[in-house]
Amino acid sequence: MKDTTLKELAETLGISVTTVSKALKGYADVSPKTREAVLKLAEELHFTPNAFAVNLRKQESKTIGVIIPEIVHHFFSKVLNGILDEAAKHGYLAIVLQSGESVELERKQVDLLINKRVDGILISLSNDSNDEAHLKEIIRRNIPLVQFDKISKLIPSTKVVINDRQAAFEATEHLILKGCRKIAHIRGPVNPQGAIDRWMGYKLALEKHGITYNPKLVYTCTHVTFEEGREFAKQILTDHPDVEGIFAITDLVAVGVISYFNENGFKVPDNVALIGFSNWFMSQVITPQLSSIDQPGEEMGALAFNCLLEEIEARKANKPYDLKTISLTTSVVERQSSQFKGK
């Protein structure tokens, strides 16, 4: 059973394909009588224009590609949610791919999207993306591109990010304002820009409040897991039993810290104040509830899509457009874990 085509409609009505097409698209130069006949028959036969043909003819598919490191990830799934909803509003569909934090895979996914001839690409880079050849290829091919969250500064494109340094500054300052002076930082891996920026924000906050930075209070994750949180909690307790506050790179790590402290009778927030990062769902349901930094994931996704759409439409109309970098503001979400009691 084949799909109905314009040609079939035309033949059964005894008119030309052209007229059928025009009737369906509301052109003015088709009489009301034939228009209605066409519409009626099209309805009856469940006609829908063949998307393949339309794509070929119009050289566009109303489809974008999205590449993220991991889909099973609270933040990225929220961003994706924002992208999908906003895309739907504007009649766009999204092909979703994950790079699994591997550059080779990321490059492969980019190639796939280029070959598919998507109308545009949204990408958040994998952690070890040192090579940008594939991104350059996107630009060479003149495909609209917007980077979000984890970006490459070397690639000229619109970017939607959060200000990691500022956010980390506020997180640390929050602990300071709660009365902490000796504050440890469990930071992210060495390379990713985000981890570096947050670490710098931490230092800046200490500096502003006259606390000397002590590198021994900084612990570096390699995998940013729950288990690492537990391990570093133990380590901190032996290295610095008098620690007053901890700023963890991520809620997951912070939850690991809580878990270890809970088991070992070290009280959060009575003995030590704690703040995480991302405002992951779990931070509301753990005991004690975890203070955190809210990253507006859906907003980031929606904004990234809108920037991409702007670029797509500008190019189609042969209009110029500006590459911008949008920095979303984060906010401290104050919960129980940071209500430091002092000594």
Partner DNA sequence: TTTATAGCCGAAAACGTTTTCGAAACGACC
Partner DNA sequence: GGTCGTTTCGAAAACGTTTTCGGCTATAAA
Which residues are at the interface with DNA (CB under 7 A)? Answer: 2-3, 5-7, 14-19, 21-22, 24-25, 28-34, 47, 49-50, 52-54, 56-59
When asked if residue 93 is in the footprint of a second copy (CB under 8 A), the reply is: yes
Q: Which token pair is 297?
A: 């994931």
Per-residue x/- mask for a second copy, residues 44 to 63, rule CB under 8 A?
A: --x-xxxxxx-xx--x-x-x
Who contacts 181 (Cβ-Cβ below 8 Å, separation ≥6)? Answer: 211, 244
Cα 311 to Cα 340: distance, rounded to the nearest angstrom: 48
Interface with a second copy, residue 256, by CB under 8 A? yes
Q: Which is nearer to DNA, 37 or 233 (CB)?
A: 37
- Give dist(CA 254, CA 186) in Å, integer: 9
Is residue 282 a contact point for a second copy (CB under 8 A)? Answer: yes
Q: Choose from a second copy, DNA, none: what does 319 bind? Cβ within 5-8 Å by kind.
A: none
The token pair that represents 3 in the structure block: 């799909």
* Nearest approach, Cβ of residue 184 and a second copy (Å): 20
Q: Does 191 bind a second copy (CB under 8 A)?
A: no
Per-residue mark of binding to a second copy, 137-176 (x: CB under 8 A): ---xxx----------------------------------
The pairs formed by 2-10 with CB atoms below 8 angstroms and a separation of 24 or more are 3/48, 3/50, 4/42, 4/45, 4/46, 4/47, 5/47, 5/50, 6/47, 6/49, 8/45, 9/38, 9/41, 9/42, 9/45, 9/47
Residue 3 or 44: which CB sits closer to DNA? 3
For residue 240, the partner it binds in a second copy, DNA, none, with Cβ less than 5 to 8 A by kind, is none
Picked from DNA, a second copy, none, the partner binding residue 94 (CB below 5 to 8 A depending on kind) is a second copy
Give the amino acid at 130: N
Cβ distance to DNA smaller for residue 33 or 216: 33
Name the minimum Å distance from CB 108 to DNA.
20
Contact call for residue 80 and a second copy (CB under 8 A) = yes
DSSP 289: P
d(CA 230, CA 285) in angstroms, rounded, equals 18
The Cα 288–Cα 1 span in angstroms is: 61
State the Cα–Cα distance between residues 280 and 275, nearest whole angstrom: 12
- Nearest distance in Å: CB 299, a second copy: 14
Looking at 9, 23, 67, 94, which residue binds a second copy (CB under 8 A)? Answer: 94
Site string for a second copy, 7-46 (x = CB under 8 A): ---------------------------------------x
Q: Is 223 exposed, middle or buried (0-12, 13-18, 19+ CB in 10 A)?
A: exposed
Please identify which residue in 34, 77, 102, 339 interacts with a second copy, judged by CB under 8 A.
77
- Helix/strand/coil (H/E/C) assignment for every residue in 79-142: HHHHHHHHHHHCCCEEEEEECCCCHHHHHHHHHHHHHHCCCEEEECCCCCCCCCHHHHHHHHCC
Cα–chain center distance at 41: 45
Binding site for a second copy (CB under 8 A): 1, 3, 46, 48-53, 55-56, 59, 61, 63, 71-74, 77-78, 80-81, 84-85, 88, 93-98, 112, 114-117, 140-142, 226, 252, 255-256, 259, 262-263, 282, 284-287
